[in-house]
Structure formats: structure tokens, C-alpha cells
A and B are shown apart, each in its own frame.
Chain A
Amino acid sequence: MIAAIFEYEFLQNAFLTGMIIGVIAPLLGVYIVVRRLSLIADALSHVTLAGIAASLLLEKKLTGFIGVNPVYMGMAFSVTGSIFIEKLRSVYKHYQELAIPIILSGGTGLSVIFISLADGFNSDLFGYLFGSVSAVSREDLWLIIIISVIIIAIIVSLYKELFLLSFDEEHAQASGIPVKIVHFIFIVMVALVIASSMRIVGILLVSALMTLPVAASMRIAKGFKQTILLSVIFGEVSVLGGLFLAFYLDLAPGGTIVIIAVLILLVTILLKKVKTSRPAKV
């Protein structure tokens, strides 16, 4: 396979994209999980699907849209969806989780409408749903590189603020941190990562890549930095291992990636069990 990577551009694209996503999805995932916002990723991925479907529909109906990368429209929908979630969360102050099913079903509804308007799509859509090794173009790769650089730069520069916001929002506000702005930046980052990950993992499984490595890492990590580090390592192992298997066994990469992440999670749970069942020395 190593030889194949050098030979085929599509494989290079897929692996490079995978390596990048393996870093940024779990990186943002850590914040999503500790802030108990895991389901937001799910809601936004369905909104992204609506964007993709809209773009594919337009491509079918309007000649001007031929060749336009559906990822852009997916991102636009995802970011808009994230803004709606925030709005809804402030409308339903006491039932903030309501925003998630509203956006999730809204996104799914729109997707279904667009898909039926287009009388169904070719296999493209399947690739968006479950991920694809062959679908990643050079253009996608560049887009993902740019987004990742921006996201990593933001996380590095707002590390303290994001940590405090996640750990203790009230304290963040009392100490005069612009909580709303930081949160907004955060949610837009999530939307962008979801839209850029879906080529590889697929819409339906994006949120898994953001949460499973984190869930595993939290079992064994000491402290926040270590949680981030282990999450990224687990994410990377899942993505690369998953792509490898997908390529050789001709499977949808989304599935193999997620199953590897689940296996890692199981191992960490078992490890912790073994550790704690031993008589502890104090």
C-alpha cells in the first residue's frame, strides 16, 4: 500500500486528509465532550448533509453549478446551523438541549427534500454519508489544510480561555472573559471541522470521530493536556488504521475508522478495570 500511496494521487489525498482530520476532529472533540455538547456534532453533521444535498441538486439543475465543490455549501450550512443552535440555546435557556433535535431534524428534513427533488443521486451521496477513500480531491485537501491551520492557531491562542470556558463558564464570565465571543468562535470551528471531515468519515460518523477517541482518552489520561494528546493519538490511529483496512478490504472508510475507535475505547475501559481491581496501594 505504501507504494500505492506514492503512485495514486487519490490515495495521497485520502491519507493526508485523514492524517489532518485525525488531529483536528479529536482536538475539538475534547472540548465538545467536556462541555457535554457531544450531540451538537451530530446535529451539525446533518445540517452539513443538507448543504451537500443542496449543492448536488443545484449541480443537477443549473449548469452554472457543475464542478462546484459541494463541501463549500456543506460548510455554509454547517456554520449557519451552528449559529441557529446558539440562538435556540438562548431562546430555550432552561432546555438548551432542545436546540439539538430541532437542528438535527431540520437538517435531515432539508436533506431529504433536496434529495427527492433531485430524484435521488448517484453514488456520490453514498460517499458523503459513509466516507470514501477515492472521493477526496486535491482541492478538498487544500481546503482542509487551510481550515486546520486556522483552527490550530485559534486553539493555541485561545487555549486558556477555552479551558476556563469549558471547566467553569460562570467563573470565566466573572473574571471578565468575553465568554460569548469565545463560545461563538468555538462553535464555528466545530462546524468547519465537521464539514471538512465528512469526505473521509462520512456525515453519519463524523461525530464518532470527535467523541470516541476522547471518551477513550478520558479513561486513562491525567489532566487536560494529556487528554488532548491521547485523544489525538487515538484519533490518528483510528483514521490511518481505518483507511488502511478500507482500502484493502474495499469497505467504506467511515465504518472501519469508527470501529477501530470503538475497539480502542473498549481496550481503555478494560485497562482501567484491570488497574482498579488490583488492590491499590495508598
Chain B
Amino acid sequence: METRQEPVIKIEDVSFRYEKNNVLEQVNLTVNEGDFLAIVGPNGSGKSTLLKLILNLLKLQNGKITLFGEEMNQFKDRQKIGFVSQKANSFNTGFPATVFEVVASGLTKKLGLFKWMKKEDKRHVIDAIDAVGLREYEMSNVGELSGGQQQRVFIARALVSEPKLLILDEPTVGVDAQHVQSFYHMLEDLNKNRGITLLLVTHDIGTISDRVTHVACMNKTLHFHGKTEEFERLDKAEMSTFYGHDVHILSHDHHHHHHEGVRG
């Protein structure tokens, strides 16, 4: 085990502020190939900000992010990373596009500028639609599907470029409760059988804990990061203080209170 592979994501001392609010403070996190990591944390804990930094949707201010062994701004293989955003749940449902068209749009970067899909690419698209169980809706407009089905469309779009890493930001928001389990089951399957590294942000720890391999608790900084078993052994009291911050911070939404809150 000496020749360990480069970690998929390596985050070192990353801090981030929006104007005067510190959103992330000195975050360090490593995700290895094959991990299924859930980042949990209350609202406003910086989870989504961290994802946006990884995805290059926000500019890194402090610290260093390495993706597949390459430093952030050197990293060009963006198609290695699939992304399912929270926003997918609130996209413009009137948009006139079929499931096939939306999933195919996941190939945009991989195909490159000025290129159209070939037969083989179309087969990939259909395979991805198959993989999320939506074959019969291939030619339906996305707006006609249920929230859960729409989210599957977005997973398929992320999968179609055959990413090594799939990042999901609160993917179960807007998915009907009875479909959440089967949704997570599908993620588990992607991780185990396709070897895709998964990074999932959620506040739904309960339903996810028996499926993920690692858990990271975040509230501006990383409070815990380790294997799921260790996480489950965490003291109940510890957990509640961690979530206790949430209540505290939310009720005093001024940044100077935050510091008191975090010290807890």
C-alpha cells in the first residue's frame, strides 16, 4: 500500500469570506478514490461554498485545492467531475428540453467546441438514462417529470461524461420522501459497482449514514472527518452541541456573534 494514488480532492487550509463574513475557516479535507463522503452541517455552514470552490464557481481566496493531483487552476479535465446541484430542484421547469437533450448536454465539455454528437455518444446518453431508470421518459420534456425523476435526469447528465468524481449538493431536496431511499441506493450502487468517488452535501444524516463510507461534519470549519463507523460512535452530546451552533447562529445573524457561537 506504499504507492497510494493521488487523492481525488485535497483541500488545504481553505478559508473563504463573502464581504466581511467568514464562511469557511481553515478547512482541510482529503477525499480518496472510491470514497463515498457525506458532508453534513447546518444551513449556512459553508458546505455549498466549499463545493463551489471545488467546482470553480467561486474564486479561491486562501488555501489550496488539488484535484486529481493537479492544482486547481492547472486542472483542465473538468469532465472528470460530475456535478448535481441543489439548483437542479428549482430549475426552470418550463424549459422546452427533452430528457435526452438535457442528459446529452452533459457531454458538452467532453465533446469539445464545434463538435456534434456521434452515434456512439448518443448510445452513452441512452445508457446514462437507462442507468437512472428513466428509459421510458427519454423523449418527454423534463418539466413533465416529478421532482425525483428530474433529479435522476440530472444524475444521468452528470454520469454521461463518465466522471471519476460525482459531487452532489443536497440532491434530495424536492424529491418525494418515498423515493429518497431508492435515490441513495442508486448512489451507493454507483460508488460500489462503478467505482465513482462520491461527495455528497446533505443535512439528511439519518438516511444516509449506512450508505456512505465517510462523514465530515462542517460548520465553517471541519468538526469531524472520518469513517462512518467512527461517526456513529460519536457522543450524542457532541452531536447536539454541533447542531446547537446552528440554532445559535441562526438566531443571531450578525457576524460578530458567530465567533462566540463557534467557540460554543
Residues of A within 8 A of B (CB): 34, 36, 157-161, 163-164, 166-168, 170-177, 217-218, 221-227
23 A-B residue pairs with CB within 8 Å: A34-B95, A36-B92, A158-B114, A159-B116, A160-B104, A161-B108, A163-B97, A167-B91, A167-B95, A167-B102, A168-B105, A170-B57, A170-B85, A171-B157, A174-B55, A174-B83, A175-B83, A175-B109, A218-B96, A222-B140, A222-B141, A223-B98, A224-B101
Contact (Cβ within 8 A) B109 A168: no
Tell me if B79 is interfacial: C-beta within 8 Å of chain A: yes
The 8 closest A-B pairs by CB, nearest first: A176-B78, A223-B98, A227-B96, A175-B109, A174-B55, A157-B114, A160-B108, A224-B97
Number of A-B contacts (CB under 8 A): 88
Q: Which single member of A167, A171, A225 contacts B83 (CB below 8 Å)?
A: A171
Contacts of B113 in A (CB 8 A): 157-158, 161
Contacts of B56 in A (CB 8 A): 173-174, 176
Contacts of B85 in A (CB 8 A): 168, 170-171, 174
- How far does the alpha carbon of A167 sit from the alpha carbon of B103 in the complex, in Å? 11
- How far does the alpha carbon of A161 sit from the alpha carbon of B111 in the complex, in Å? 11
Contacts of B139 in A (CB 8 A): 222-223
Q: Which single member of B78, B88, B92, B114 contacts A175 (CB below 8 Å)?
A: B78
Contacts of A225 in B (CB 8 A): 101
Task: Tell me which residues from 15 to 61 in chain B have a Cβ below 8 Å from any Cβ of chain A.
Answer: 55-57
Contacts of B106 in A (CB 8 A): 175
Given known A-B contacts A161-B113, A223-B139, A175 and B97 have beta carbons under 8 A apart: no
Tell me if B87 is interfacial: C-beta within 8 Å of chain A: yes
The listed residue with most A CB atoms (<10 A of its CB), out of B55, B105, B111, is B105
Number of interface residues of B (CB under 8 A): 36
Contact (Cβ within 8 A) A177 B96: no
Closest chain B residue to A230, Cβ basis: B96
Contact (Cβ within 8 A) B96 A224: yes
Tell me if B233 is interfacial: C-beta within 8 Å of chain A: no
Contact (Cβ within 8 A) B78 A160: no
- How far does the alpha carbon of A36 sit from the alpha carbon of B85 in the complex, in Å? 21
Closest chain A residue to B51, Cβ basis: A174
- How far does the alpha carbon of A164 sit from the alpha carbon of B104 in the complex, in Å? 10
Apart from A158-B113, A161-B108, A163-B105, what are 5 other A-B pairs with CB-CB below 8 Å? A168-B85, A174-B81, A218-B94, A218-B96, A222-B141
Contacts of A163 in B (CB 8 A): 97, 101, 105, 108
Contacts of B79 in A (CB 8 A): 175-176
Give the distance to chain B from A178, nearest Cβ to Cβ, in Å. 9
Contact (Cβ within 8 A) A177 B109: yes
Given known A-B contacts A171-B83, A171-B85, A222-B139, A160 and B98 have beta carbons under 8 A apart: no
Tell me if B76 is interfacial: C-beta within 8 Å of chain A: yes
Contacts of B97 in A (CB 8 A): 163, 167, 223-224
Give the distance to chain A from B55, nearest Cβ to Cβ, in Å. 4
- How far does the alpha carbon of A263 sit from the alpha carbon of B87 in the complex, in Å? 36
Give the distance to chain B from A183, nearest Cβ to Cβ, in Å. 15
Give the distance to chain B from A101, nearest Cβ to Cβ, in Å. 23
- How far does the alpha carbon of A226 sit from the alpha carbon of B87 in the complex, in Å? 26
Residues 104-123 of B, flagged 1 when their CB comes within 8 A of A and 0 if not, give 11111101011110000000
Closest chain B residue to A34, Cβ basis: B95
Give the distance to chain B from A169, nearest Cβ to Cβ, in Å. 10
Contacts of A227 in B (CB 8 A): 96
Given known A-B contacts A159-B116, A225-B101, A174 and B96 have beta carbons under 8 A apart: no
Contact (Cβ within 8 A) A223 B95: no
- How far does the alpha carbon of A198 sit from the alpha carbon of B75 in the complex, in Å? 46
Contact (Cβ within 8 A) A164 B105: yes
Residues 124-150 of B, flagged 1 when their CB comes within 8 A of A and 0 if not, give 000000000000000111000000000
- How far does the alpha carbon of A5 sit from the alpha carbon of B157 in the complex, in Å? 50
- How far does the alpha carbon of A49 sit from the alpha carbon of B82 in the complex, in Å? 46
Given known A-B contacts A167-B97, A175-B109, A223 and B141 have beta carbons under 8 A apart: yes
Contact (Cβ within 8 A) A172 B108: yes
Q: Which single member of B87, B96, B102, B140 contacts A221 (CB below 8 Å)?
A: B96
- How far does the alpha carbon of A158 sit from the alpha carbon of B113 in the complex, in Å? 7
Contacts of B107 in A (CB 8 A): 160
Closest chain A residue to B167, Cβ basis: A174
- How far does the alpha carbon of A175 sit from the alpha carbon of B109 in the complex, in Å? 6
Contacts of A157 in B (CB 8 A): 113-114
Given known A-B contacts A171-B85, A175-B78, A225-B101, A164 and B95 have beta carbons under 8 A apart: no
Contacts of A177 in B (CB 8 A): 108-109
Contact (Cβ within 8 A) A174 B98: no
Contacts of B140 in A (CB 8 A): 222
- How far does the alpha carbon of A34 sit from the alpha carbon of B94 in the complex, in Å? 9
Closest chain A residue to B88, Cβ basis: A168
Task: Tell me which residues from 150 to 201 in chain B have a Cβ below 8 Å from any Cβ of chain A.
Answer: 157
